[in-house]
Amino acid sequence: MPIIVADAWRPGGSEDPILQIVLLLIATIGLPYFLLSTTTPLVGAWYWKRFQSAAPYRLFALSNAASLLALVGFPFFIEPNFGNRETAWIWSALFTMFAILCGLMAWQTWFAVKAKSADETRHSLDTSALEASSSDAVTQGKGSWISWMGYSAMGSAVLLGVSSHLTQNISSAPLLWVLPLALYLLTFIISFDHPRWYRRSIFFPLGAIALPAMAWLADSLDLALAAPVYSFGLFVICMVFHGELYRLRPEPQRLTQFYLAMSAGGAVGSLLMAVVAPMLMDGYYEFHIVLIIASMLGLTLIRASANRLALVLSATVLASVVGLTWRFVDHYNEGVRMMARDFYGVVRTRDREAGGETFRNLIHGSIAHGGQLQRDNLQMTPSSYFGPDSGYGRTFASLPSGPKRIGVIGLGAGALAVYANANDQWVFYEISPAVVQAAKTEFSFLKEMKAPYELVIGDGRLALEREAPRQFDIIAMDAFAGDSIPTHFLTKEAMALYVKHLKPDGVIVFQATNRFVNPMPVIKQLADHFGFHAMLVSDSPDFDAGPQYWLSSTDQVIVTRNKALLEHERLREVVRSIEPIPGLKLFTDDYINLLKILKH
């Protein structure tokens, strides 16, 4: 105590991220998490021993209600008001209070049970009868470990599938992951509160609608349409799985086994989706496999009802989900030249014809991270987010001639290499091996650039921490091309690293193009804190044909102490000041408030 990650766990950049994360979690929160996880079955067992009444499954609903409250409270209350270290100390204090309360409850339960020792004979008879009843239920095929683990695993798999699909393949909007997890917990609360809430006659037909709808929208990028449909589908499917789980609940004597099986099932579902699937599949297919399995389980459950019409409809749902999944896979792979997957997502390259030109896109998840014109004499022409009138293009044009040292955090396709000149020295930092593979094999920027380059694989910030000052003329912060912001690049400590590696009159260019978050006031605060100027350059090209068709609209922030640079003719007329956000505090490694910078 408190649970704070030690510097010894700071990654070097070459480790297996999955193994590193698992070991870190075990070393930091492993024991407290294990103790908390045992609370529900432990308190349930105490409740049964003391009161000998109905099995305390509503306590599980109450536990999940508290989890839901914490889930919603963290991003909307705790994170905006407390730093990481403060939060760790508060959590540690509450955990200590929790342990004391558990001790008091155990003490009271022990004395209450001891006081009832006179009724031991009657209690033993009742217990024997209950155990026999429970044993009969198991021999009838109800309440087995396999069914408990299976339903729990499917609920967990659907949760991860929906969360990943929404955030990786549709939109990486901040806090979007909160909604699926909240709905998942809500289904546990409803299902375990009382048997009256789960009715097959209601949720089976809803599931028959939700499953094909989710498969139909698998390749949609319309967040306003996909988010409600996928949220509805997640709620309905998890209600079925958790409702069926509750129907198979055992008698109190097997309470611990039941919760252990549920926990194991949830872990298995998460492991298959988060670890095994990325290792076995080069594309994002696991969610569609889960939809098919869910449809098959629905068919299996309906077969037991002997309702022929329901059976036909269920088989139709299964056939439609399989057919729509096939359509998705075909569209997902259409025109794809290369596909690779690593811990950081799926990387694809695809050629497109438009504006009279062929353009090769680098697609990471659902976001196109730049690309390259394919006509021979245009391959080293600036395009996408890096056009001549973008912040990058204007900055390179405004610097004096001569050799320069350039650092680029975020390789992408390597498109910034079009601005390299002979005698320059370039360093690219890229965390994803799949992106590096695509840049080297599918694009010619690195092969044809005029300057030599160094490629550092790993987290750019961690690499800068290890290196001696590079004395860069330009640092290009291009880790912001998508809608998801790696906020550890926007803190005071991160800015100190950039300043360490920057020449006194050097310039940092931040890619700030984003649909959901406005990072510009954060960058402005960082610049002010270190005595820099921060100015915005927006570019909105609008061409119907030609190479210029492939120029993208951008917002890029130029940060420098060099006033002469900002007065250059290529920048003077286009730079704009950045409006502050009232009440916004300086981001640090200990404090980040994402809610403050969400776009409305």
pLDDT of residue 339: 95
Quick one: 204 and 242 in the same domain? yes
Per-residue pLDDT tens digits for 246-269: 999 887 778 788 888 998 999 999
511 domain-assigned: yes
pLDDT of residue 62: 86
Per-residue pLDDT tens digits for 168-187: 766 555 577 888 999 999 99
257 domain-assigned: yes
478 domain-assigned: yes
Domain endpoint, select from 332, 360, 394: 332
Quick one: 317 and 379 in the same domain? no
5 domain-assigned: no
For position 508, which CATH number holds? 3.40.50.150
Average pLDDT over residues 196-215: 94
Host H or E run for residue 100: helix 84-115
Domain endpoint, select from 332, 366, 388: 332
Average pLDDT over residues 503-521: 91
Is 128 a residue whose pLDDT tops 80? no
Quick one: 320 and 353 in the same domain? no
C-beta separation of 300 from 43 below 8 A: no
Quick one: 549 and 516 in the same domain? yes
Quick one: 496 and 356 in the same domain? yes
Radius of gyration in angstroms for the set of CA atoms belonging to the chain, rounded to a whole number: 28
C-alpha angle 327-330-334 in degrees, rounded to nearest 5: 140
**How many angstroms separate the CA atoms of 32 and 26, rounded?**
10
For all residues of the chain together, what is the average pLDDT? 86
470 domain-assigned: yes
Quick one: 305 and 375 in the same domain? no
Per-residue pLDDT tens digits for 1-59: 566 766 666 666 666 677 777 777 777 777 777 777 777 777 777 777 777 666 677 88
Does the bond joining 541 to the residue before it have cis omega, within 30 degrees of 0?
Answer: no
For position 263, which CATH number holds? 1.20.1250
20 domain-assigned: no
C-beta separation of 392 from 416 below 8 A: yes
User: Whole domain around residue 217: which residue ranges?
Assistant: 137-332
Give the DSSP letter of residue 381.
S
Domain endpoint, select from 332, 366, 387: 332
Quick one: 231 and 254 in the same domain? yes
pLDDT of residue 521: 95
**Measured in whole angstroms, how far is the alpha carbon of residue 432 from the centre of its chain?**
16
Closest CA relative to residue 421, chosen from 357, 367, 473: 473
Is 118 a residue whose pLDDT tops 70? no
Per-residue pLDDT tens digits for 386-418: 999 999 999 999 999 999 999 999 999 999 999
374 domain-assigned: yes
Per-residue pLDDT tens digits for 61-96: 888 899 899 888 888 888 888 888 888 888 888 888
Closest CA relative to residue 455, chosen from 424, 409, 517: 409
Q: Total structural domains in the chain?
A: 2
269 domain-assigned: yes
pLDDT of residue 119: 58
